[in-house]
Amino acid sequence: MAKATTPTFSKQTLEFIEKATRQKNPNWLEKNREDYEKFLLFPLKHLATQLKSKLAPLAPGYNFPQKGLGRLKRSANSALEYGALYRDWVAYSAAKPRVSRFDHNPNLYFLIQPGEPDGDEILIAGGLYMPSSRQMRKIREAIAEDFTPFEELFQSKEFEAHFKGGFSKEKIAKRPPRGFDPNHPSIDLLKLQAFFVWKPYTKKQFYSRDFSDIVALDCAQILRLNELLESVLEGRQIVSTPKKLRTGNLTSRLEGLEAPRRKMDF
């Protein structure tokens, strides 16, 4: 009996998504379901299964979706809005269930979007990308009072090996936020409108059989950031995160694995 092979992403994964974006036939996906499952759906399901297995012990309360993955076809209303039957991206997100329709929770976010002009076609991100005004205010107040816990995390050897530079500067206000000192030493951080980190993956990583392990290691570090953000939003006392913050289980499971250290090909 032949041994089952691990579903892996490939060059055909990116090509299939790009091809889908050009289609005008609403039945195209069903007619090409075999390729869809082989190149996109099954590898994505494998990744989702592995992330749940490896990260659930580190992320109590998180929902790691296992169904409804890899949706490419848009709804009728969405197709009219965007002028395309199919999406040009596929994403996977894990987070705690929302308790408010206004507030989002810090999450883990994986994206495949071939054809990106900057070359960031596959990436991992986490933190809080779309905070509500209430959440933004609370995080800014925490930063203004004492940024040390975040600084210690960002400068820790373990976190910096996966995400350099701390919070992304992608979403930043042009002016200092109202109610905060324009001369505050952390004014650049106080002007942030989102509090997240991200990084792209190389094609070599994406096609690797170890890709789910690489993503899991990155997500384990993002969970450290998410816990700090949750502490701020829930009004809990922020405690500086230990270097080995609850990554012991994951580390032991992935013993001997190192994420490739090479220059990104973008």
**Stated pTM of the model:** 0.87
Work out the angle at residue 204's Cα, subtended by the Cα atoms of residues 88 and 210, and round it to the nearest 5 degrees: 100
CA distance 212 to 250: 12
Counting residues of the chain whose pLDDT is more than 70, the rounded percentage is: 87
Q: What is the mean pLDDT of the chain?
A: 89
Give the pLDDT score at 254.
41
Counting residues of the chain whose pLDDT is more than 90, the rounded percentage is: 83
Give the pLDDT score at 148.
96
CA-closest candidate to residue 153, choices 195, 95, 194, 216: 195
Give 196's strand partners: 127
pLDDT digit string, tens, across residues 114-127: 988 777 899 999 99
Q: How far does Cα 124 stand from its chain's mean position?
A: 4
What mean pLDDT is predicted for residues 102-109? 96
CB-based contacts of 265, cutoff 8 Å, min separation 6:
119, 202, 203, 204
Q: In what order do the strands lie in the sheet with 195-200?
A: 90-95, 107-112, 122-128, 195-200
CB-based contacts of 50, cutoff 8 Å, min separation 6:
212, 213, 216
